[in-house]
C-alpha cells in the first residue's frame, strides 16, 4: 500500500468522489467543486494498492491545527489499517501545527475508532445540520508547548445567504447549498439572511407558499442595518449594477447592499450575474461573493478576510487618527461595551484625559468622522500599557485592531521600551485574536508583547526574558522554552513573539529578495512612501501581513525563513540599490495567477493587473506568492557593502532573482543595518 497526494490531475480524484458518494450518509454533504479545491491545495490524501484507491482523507489547516473533514476506507479494505496510515501521514505533513481535530456523531460506529488512533474527546456539541445530531470533538495533540499556540476566536463569522440558497436549504433541493449545513462547518460560520428576503417572498402570489417562506426565513438570524449605513453601502454597490431591470434583479442587488451595511464580509449565492461582478464588489467594499462550494473550500481564507482586510485602509485617506477631544454621546455609544453604562465609560475616559503627561488618548475615525476605535496608552513605565483598547463592531474591526497594535509596537521599539501590555479588561474575541496573531502572549495582567532588538543566542534571550520585569507565568515558560533544543519552526516562532529580535546561529533559511521600488513603498517602506502621494497615516498603514508575487522560475524561497528585501535600481525614487527591510516568511505558494490573487487579495497593495503582469499575461503560467509578516524597517545597507559580505561568504550574485544566503551572511548584513557587531 502507498500513500499519495491526490491533486486535481490525479486519476484517483474521481475515485475519491465515488467513494464519498457511497458513504455520503455518514460523511455528510460535500459539493463536487470543493473536492477539486481541496485537491488543488494538496489537502487530499489517498491509500492505493495496485492502482486501486482503498481510502482517502480530506483535511484543512486552520488556526494552528489540522482539521479532518473526511476519513473514509472502502468497504472491502476495512480492517487493514487504512485509517491509521492516513492519520499517520497527516501527522507527518502537519508537524508544524499543534494537533488534529475532527468532529463525529456519537451514534456512528466509527466513534470507537478515534481512541485507537490516538484521539481523545475534547468536548461535545450539538450539530446544527438538519438531523440536529450530538457531536463529539476529537483531538490529537502533538505534545507541543502551548506557548506559541494562537488563541483563536471560537465565534463563527456571519455569512449572508441569498434567497435562492435559503430555499435550497429549507427545501433540500440542491446538494451544493446543503453542504453549508455540514456539522464540521458550524463552528466557523453562522448562516444569516437580510431583510430583503422578506421583500422577495412578498412577491409570491400563492398565499400558502408565501406564509411558508416567511416562516422558513425565521430559521436564520436576520441582519439589519441603520439607514445611514445602507445609504453608504448603496453608493458603493449600486453603480456596479447599472443594468438591473427586473424586480428580482433589483432585489438581488439590495441583498448585497444590506450585507455590506450590516458589516458582513461574505455573501453566498448561485446567481450568475452577482458572481460575475464578485471582483468589482470586493474591490469596492470588501464583500466576497462566493458560491456555496467556494465558501466551503475557502473557509479559512474567508475567515482571514474577516479578520484582516488591509486593502480597505492602507494607502488611502479613508481613516485618520487624532487625540480624543470631547467625549460626546456618539463616541461613547460607539465604544461602550455590554453591561457598561455611559456614565461609567465617560468617567473612565475623563480620568485618562485629566493626565495628558501620562496617558495618550487616541481616536480613529473614517471619512465621515464616524468613530472606529479609541485607545489609551499609559507611557509611565518601562512597558507601555493599554488600559483602554476599544475597536467598534465593524467589518474593519480585525484590520484596525492589527494595524493599531502594529503601530504601537513600532512606537515602543523606537522609544526603547521593553514592550507593551494590553490591560483593557473588556477585550472581545476580535481584539484577542489580533493580539495572538501579532505575537502577544496571554498573561494574568492581560496580553503582553516583549520587544527585543539585535541578534542574540537562545540562552541570552532566555536571560533577557527572565529579566524583563514582568511577573507572569508565561514569561518563565518562554524562558524555559528558549533553553530547549529548538527546531527552525521554533526559532521562527520565537522571533515572532520577541520581534524584532533575531536568533543567532539560527537553522532557518535566509534569503535576499529583490523588489521594485514601487512595490516596496506599498509593502513596507514608509521612507519611500513619503516621496509619493500615498496618503495613508504611516502608523495606521504599517502592514502586519502582506504578499509579494514573483516568477516561479526560481522556487528557492521557503518557510520558515527570513527575507532581506533589496530595493532594486529601477525607477527614480530615492533609497534604491540597498537592503531596506527584513521580514519573516509565513508561507510560499506556487499556483496560477487567478488562484493566488483570489487567495491573497485581502492583503491589498497588488491589483489584478500587477499579478497578471507577473504571469506575463498568461492565466496558465505558475507564479509564486510569498506571504510575509513581522517586517522591520532597517537602516539601508548599500549594494557595495552587502556584496562585500556576500563575497566573503562565498556568494556571488547580481540579484536578478531571489537568492539563498547562509545564516552567517544574514547576521553580518543585519548587524550592519543595526550598526552592531554580528554574533560570532
Distances (CA, A) of 541 to 384, 400, 515, 529: 21, 10, 19, 10
Share of the chain above pLDDT 90, in %: 37
> Is 462 contained in some domain?
no
Res 285: pLDDT: 81
Task: Write down the mean pLDDT value for the chain.
Answer: 83
Q: Where are the beta strands (DSSP E) in 307-418?
A: 319-323, 359-366, 371-378, 383-391
Domain count, the chain: 4
Instruction: Pick the closest to residue 638 from 569, 586, 588, 590 (CA basis).
Output: 569
Which residues, in sequence order, are bridge partners of residue 626?
Answer: 548, 588
pLDDT interval class at 183 (50, 70, 90): confident
- Regarding pTM above 0.85, the answer is no
Q: Are residues 241 and 300 in the same domain?
A: yes
Q: Are residues 302 and 326 in the same domain?
A: no
Which of 79, 107, 142 is the C-terminal boundary of a domain? 142
| 205: CB partners within 8 A, 6+ apart | none
pLDDT per residue as tens digits for the range 553-573: 877 888 889 999 998 876 555
Q: Are residues 278 and 422 in the same domain?
A: no
> Is 35 contained in some domain?
yes
Q: Are residues 655 and 563 in the same domain?
A: yes
pLDDT per residue as tens digits for the range 406-463: 889 988 988 889 999 999 999 988 888 889 888 999 888 899 999 899 999 999 999 9
Q: How many CB atoms lie within 10 A of CB 417?
A: 16
> Is 82 contained in some domain?
yes
Q: What is the CA radius of gyration of the chain?
A: 26
- Flag whether pLDDT at 311 surpasses 50: no
> Is 484 contained in some domain?
no
Owning domain of residue 116: 2-142
Strands 189-194 and 578-591: unpaired
Which of 142, 177, 205 is the C-terminal boundary of a domain? 142
Q: Are residues 599 and 638 in the same domain?
A: yes
Which of 405, 427, 451 is the C-terminal boundary of a domain? 451
Lowest mean pLDDT, pick from 34-38, 128-132, 161-165, 383-387: 128-132
Distances (CA, A) of 56 to 110, 193, 216, 257, 268: 15, 35, 37, 41, 28
What average pLDDT does this structure show over 657-678? Answer: 86
* 668: CATH: 2.30.130.30
Res 538: pLDDT: 37
Task: Kindly list the strands in the beta sheet with 441-442, ordered across the sheet, starting from the edge strand earlier in the chain.
Answer: 319-323, 359-366, 371-378, 383-391, 419-422, 447-450, 441-442
Between CA 155 and CA 321 the distance in angstroms is 29
Q: Phi-psi region for residue 369, left (φ > 0), alpha (ψ -120 to 50) or beta?
A: left
Q: Are residues 92 and 175 in the same domain?
A: no
- Flag whether pLDDT at 667 surpasses 90: yes
Q: Phi-psi region for residue 628, left (φ > 0), alpha (ψ -120 to 50) or beta?
A: beta
Res 466: pLDDT: 92
Element (H, E) at 138: strand 134-141
What average pLDDT does this structure show over 239-244? Answer: 88
Res 250: pLDDT: 87
* 241: CATH: 3.40.50.1010
Between CA 234 and CA 248 the distance in angstroms is 17
What average pLDDT does this structure show over 283-309? Answer: 75
What average pLDDT does this structure show over 642-657? Answer: 93
> Is 459 contained in some domain?
no
Angle between helices 397-414 and 429-437 (to 10 degrees): 50
Q: Are residues 210 and 340 in the same domain?
A: no
Distances (CA, A) of 35 to 31, 41, 43, 311: 7, 10, 9, 30
What average pLDDT does this structure show over 540-559? Answer: 75
Res 267: pLDDT: 95
Q: Are residues 522 and 425 in the same domain?
A: no
What average pLDDT does this structure show over 69-90? Answer: 92
Q: Please, what's the b/e burial string for 598-628 (b: 16 or more CB within 10 A of its CB; e: otherwise)?
A: bbbbbbbbbeeeebbebbeeeeeebbbbbbb
SS3 state of residue 486 = coil
pLDDT per residue as tens digits for the range 505-517: 999 999 999 887 7
Q: Are residues 228 and 352 in the same domain?
A: no
Q: Are residues 52 and 168 in the same domain?
A: no
Res 151: pLDDT: 37
pLDDT interval class at 319 (50, 70, 90): low
pLDDT interval class at 148 (50, 70, 90): very low
Q: Are residues 527 and 666 in the same domain?
A: yes
What average pLDDT does this structure show over 161-190? Answer: 90
Phi, psi of 195 (to 5 degrees): -65, -20
pLDDT interval class at 679 (50, 70, 90): very low
- Flag whether pLDDT at 143 surpasses 70: no
More confident residue, 618 or 142: 618
Q: How wide is the angle at C-alpha 149 spanned by C-alphas 148 and 151, nearest 5°? A: 125
In this structure, what DSSP letter does residue 609 have?
A: H
CB 270 within 8 A of CB 292: yes
Q: How many CB atoms lie within 10 A of CB 408?
A: 23
- Flag whether pLDDT at 621 surpasses 90: yes
- Flag whether pLDDT at 146 surpasses 50: no
> Is 565 contained in some domain?
yes
- Flag whether pLDDT at 534 surpasses 80: no
Cis-peptide into 500, omega within 30 deg: yes
CB 516 within 8 A of CB 571: yes
Element (H, E) at 476: helix 473-482
What average pLDDT does this structure show over 366-389? Answer: 88
Res 643: pLDDT: 95
pLDDT interval class at 26 (50, 70, 90): confident
Q: Are residues 220 and 129 in the same domain?
A: no
Lowest mean pLDDT, pick from 109-118, 224-233, 317-326: 317-326
> Is 500 contained in some domain?
no
> Is 482 contained in some domain?
no
Res 604: pLDDT: 62
* 403: CATH: 3.40.630.30
Amino acid at each position: 500500500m502507498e500513500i499519495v497526494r491526490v491533486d486535481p490531475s490525479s486519476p484517483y480524484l474521481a475515485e475519491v468522489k465515488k467513494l464519498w458518494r457511497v458513504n455520503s450518509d455518514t460523511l455528510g454533504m460535500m459539493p463536487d467543486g470543493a473536492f477539486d479545491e481541496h485537491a488543488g491545495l494538496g489537502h487530499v490524501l489517498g491509500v492505493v494498492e495496485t492502482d486501486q484507491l482503498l481510502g482517502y482523507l480530506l483535511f484543512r489547516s486552520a488556526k494552528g491545527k489540522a482539521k479532518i473533514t473526511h476519513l473514509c476506507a472502502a468497504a472491502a479494505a476495512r480492517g487493514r489499517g487504512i485509517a491509521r496510515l492516513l492519520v499517520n501521514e497527516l501527522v507527518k505533513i502537519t508537524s508544524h501545527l499543534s494537533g488534529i481535530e475532527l468532529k463525529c456523531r456519537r451514534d456512528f460506529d466509527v466513534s470507537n475508532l478515534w481512541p485507537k488512533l490516538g484521539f481523545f474527546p475534547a468536548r461535545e456539541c450539538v450539530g446544527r445540520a438538519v438531523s440536529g445530531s450530538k457531536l463529539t470533538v476529537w483531538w490529537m495533540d502533538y505534545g507541543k508547548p502551548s506557548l506559541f499556540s494562537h488563541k483563536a476566536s471560537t465565534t463563527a463569522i456571519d455569512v449572508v445567504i441569498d434567497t435562492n440558497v435559503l430555499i435550497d436549504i429549507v427545501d433540500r433541493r440542491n446538494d451544493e447549498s446543503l453542504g453549508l449545513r455540514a456539522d464540521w462547518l458550524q463552528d466557523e460560520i453562522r448562516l444569516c439572511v437580510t431583510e430583503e428576503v422578506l421583500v422577495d417572498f412578498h412577491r409570491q402570489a400563492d398565499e400558502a407558499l408565501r406564509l411558508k417562506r416567511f416562516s422558513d426565513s425565521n430559521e436564520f438570524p436576520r441582519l439589519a442595518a441603520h439607514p445611514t449605513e445602507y445609504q453608504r453601502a448603496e453608493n458603493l454597490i449600486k453603480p456596479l449594477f447599472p443594468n438591473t431591470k427586473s424586480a428580482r434583479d433589483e432585489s438581488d442587488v439590495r441583498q448585497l447592499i444590506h450585507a455590506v451595511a450590516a458589516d458582513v464580509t461574505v455573501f453566498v449565492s448561485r446567481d450568475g450575474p452577482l458572481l460575475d461582478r464578485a471582483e468589482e464588489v470586493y474591490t469596492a467594499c470588501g464583500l466576497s461573493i462566493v458560491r456555496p462550494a467556494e465558501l466551503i473550500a475557502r473557509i479559512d481564507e474567508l475567515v482571514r478576510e474577516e479578520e484582516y482586510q488591509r486593502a480597505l485602509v492602507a494607502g488611502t485617506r479613508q481613516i485618520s487618527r487624532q487625540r480624543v477631544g470631547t467625549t460626546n454621546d456618539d463616541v461613547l455609544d460607539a465604544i461602550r461595551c455590554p453591561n457598561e453604562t455611559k456614565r461609567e465609560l465617560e468617567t473612565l475616559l475623563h480620568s485618562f484625559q485629566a493626565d495628558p503627561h501620562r496617558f495618550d488618548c487616541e481616536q480613529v475615525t473614517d471619512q465621515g468622522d464616524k468613530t472606529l476605535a479609541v485607545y489609551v496608552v499609559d507611557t509611565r513605565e518601562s512597558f507601555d500599557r493599554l488600559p483602554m483598547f476599544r475597536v467598534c463592531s465593524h467589518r474593519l474591526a480585525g484590520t484596525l485592531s492589527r494595524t493599531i497594535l502594529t503601530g504601537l509596537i513600532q512606537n515602543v521599539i523606537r522609544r526603547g521600551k521593553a514592550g507593551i501590555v494590553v490591560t483593557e479588561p473588556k477585550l472581545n474575541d476580535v481584539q484577542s485574536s489580533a493580539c495572538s496573531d501579532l505575537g502577544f502572549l496571554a498573561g494574568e495582567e492581560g496580553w503582553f508583547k516583549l520587544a527585543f532588538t539585535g541578534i542574540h543566542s537562545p540562552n541570552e534571550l532566555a536571560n533577557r526574558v527572565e529579566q524583563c520585569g514582568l511577573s507572569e507565568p508565561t514569561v518563565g515558560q518562554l524562558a524555559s522554552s528558549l533553553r530547549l533544543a529548538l527546531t527552525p519552526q521554533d526559532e521562527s516562532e520565537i522571533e515572532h513573539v520577541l520581534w524584532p529580535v533575531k536568533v543567532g546561529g539560527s537553522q532557518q533559511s535566509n534569503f535576499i529578495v529583490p523588489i521594485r521600488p514601487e512595490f516596496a513603498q506599498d509593502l513596507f517602506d514608509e521612507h519611500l512612501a513619503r516621496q509619493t502621494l500615498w496618503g495613508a497615516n504611516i502608523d495606521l498603514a504599517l502592514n502586519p501581513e502582506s504578499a509579494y508575487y514573483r516568477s516561479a522560475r526560481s522556487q528557492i524561497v521557503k518557510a520558515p525563513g527570513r527575507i532581506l528585501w533589496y530595493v532594486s535600481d529601477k525607477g527614480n525614487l530615492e533609497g534604491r540599490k540597498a537592503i531596506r527591510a527584513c521580514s519573516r516568511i509565513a508561507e510560499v505558494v506556487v499556483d496560477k495567477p487567478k488562484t493566488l490573487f483570489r487567495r491573497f487579495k485581502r492583503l491589498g497593495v497588488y491589483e489584478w493587473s500587477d499579478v497578471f503582469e507577473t504571469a506575463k499575461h498568461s492565466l496558465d503560467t505558475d507564479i509564486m506568492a510569498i506571504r510575509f509578516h513581522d517586517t522591520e524597517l532597517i537602516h539601508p545597507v548599500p549594494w557595495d557593502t552587502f556584496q562585500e559580505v556576500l563575497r566573503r561568504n562565498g556568494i556571488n550574485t547580481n540579484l536578478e532573482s531571489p537568492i539563498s544566503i547562509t545564516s552567517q551572511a544574514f547576521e553580518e548584513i543585519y548587524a550592519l543595518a543595526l550598526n552592531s557587531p554580528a554574533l560570532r
